Structure 1
Amino acid sequence: MNPQESLELGLAQVAAAIADGSRARMLSALMDGRAWTATELSTVADVATSTASSHLARLQQQGLTGCVQQGKHRYYRIASPEVALVVEQLMGLAAQGPGPLQSKTPARLRFARTCYDHLAGELGVRLHDALLAQGWLDAGGHGLTPEGEQHFSRLGIDCVPSGRRHFACPCLDWSERRMHLGGQLGARLLTHLLDKGALVRVLEGRELTLTTGGQRLLQRQFGIPA
């Protein structure tokens, strides 16, 4: 088998792994950035736990999910930010309605949601735009300016890159058709907003709720109007 044939076969296998309805529901649930057990994912997919385990083995075989052992329990999550980006874009295509720039995504999910481990939706786009307007994010969106580093450090947000993942990168928001902030910095910003109580996760799913205190915090720390 030549390299091109191998690539085509691999693409078909990944697509087939995602194409199953139960596995697609599992991937969608895992896009909230949290780790789930097979039992929890079986409930989401409405299948038996043993069946869920088989589906997860298929997803793991294709490099779409990873597994973490914690004591007696096994937790599953999206394998990497790169996989999350692909899944997010596929979900964007699926959410498109028949008309141009129309979406079937519920309004609350369009306003604020997790995109794996960073903030997406209208609020994520507004935050990205505010960082550029304040001169804290460089024009390409790939790093902080010196002023941005000073500001983020004052907020207690780590500005030191680590690992191989991009420190900061623009990520196309499929519901807004504009950029929000991804990479390590995007993840650290979401953690900051969650820790401060500015955003609250819903019990299940990717939706985030902006609190009244969060509106004030976003205005005070990032210059985003309430």
Structure 2
Amino acid sequence: MASRDLAAFAALFADETRAAFLLALLDGRAWTAGELARHARVAPSTASGHLGRLVAGGVLAEERQGRHRYVRLADPGVAHLVEELTARSAPAAPEPPRGLRAVNAGRAMARGRTCYDHLAGRLGTTLTDALTARGLLRQDTGFALTDRGLAWFAELGVPLVPKGRRPLARGCLDWTERRPHLAGLAGAELCRYALDAGWCVRIGSERAVRVTPEGERELRERLGVDPAALR
């Protein structure tokens, strides 16, 4: 029955340890079972049991290299679902982080981060707004790149070639900004290019990213983004 299947699938997310694993895997990397166990502060045997359920449920994909077992989110659709659930479950007035390190980490994640393979946080929504303001992206009837938008990506050296069923552009609800940022193939390619070209760099051990001075110049020139909005 569809209701039984839905309940079983939803139950995969209804555990704090499994939720911690899924949030960690939003960085787009493959993690070992041991790394995830240490991240969630659980025993390796406990992690193994949870990971087995997530793999069997199609939420995670598993790869083995020698003695090591790696897992990653099964596909971008799962990443979108995790981010969407995170945004909808976040309290309207979250408890403030304790300690200077936690405060700084939280601010960095809110300022800019990766959401699986695309940009999120204030950086992600600022770029989405800039693309929309310049007529490169439409949001009035769902997310869609315009012809000018496709040409902009091509001029950037990033021609967008459809891959499978993944849409060119899709809105992803941002859990810190509470509004959508650009996901889909266009979001992934823009994130990849920004990191490869040195517009953004990863910082810390979380998913946080920072815009470099070169990135500020490029984004101001190409999209009219005020550098102050990225800091």
TM-score normalised to the size of structure 1? 0.86
Instruction: Tell me which amino acid in the other structure corresponds to 1:58.
Output: R
User: 1:162 — aligned with what?
Assistant: 163
Contact 2:201–2:212 (CA<8 Å) still a contact in 1? yes
Return the match for 1:40 from 35, 57, 69.
35
Which residue is 1:116 aligned to?
Answer: 116
Unaligned 5+ residue runs, structure 2? 98-105
* Deviation digits for residues 95-148 of structure 1 (CA, Å, limit 9, x no counterpart): 2234xxx68683321221122211111111110111111122245464432322
Query: 182-191 or 69-78: which moved more?
Result: 69-78
Inter-partner Cα distance in structure 1 for 2:47 and 2:65: 19
Q: Once the 2 structures are TM-superposed, how far is the Cα of residue 202 of structure 1 from its aligned partner? A: 2.9
Task: List gaps (5 residues or longer) in structure 1.
Answer: 1-5
| Aligned residue number for residue 49 of structure 2 | 54
Task: Kindly indicate whether the alpha-carbon contact (under 8 Å) linking 1:96 and 1:104 is maintained by their aligned counterparts in 2.
Answer: no
What does the per-residue CA deviation read over 1:68-115, in whole Å, with 9 as the maximum and x for residues that have no partner?
3345533211112222122112212332234xxx68683321221122
* Match in the other structure for 1:207: 208
Q: Does the 8 Å contact 1:114/1:120 carry over to 2?
A: yes
The CA deviation string for residues 120-178 of structure 1, in whole angstroms up to 9 with x for no partner, is: 11111110111111122245464432322222112111222121111111222232222
Equivalent residue for 2:222? 221
Distance 1:128 1:57 in 2: 37
Alignment check: 8 A CA contact 2:84 2:172 kept: no
> What count of residue pairs does the alignment treat as equivalent?
218
TM-score after normalising by structure 2: 0.84
Cα root mean square deviation, aligned: 2.2
CA contact (8 A) 1:128 1:180 kept: yes
Q: Give 1:21 shift.
A: 2.0
Distance 1:85 1:136 in 2: 22
Q: Once the two structures are aligned, what percentage of the paired residues are identical? A: 46
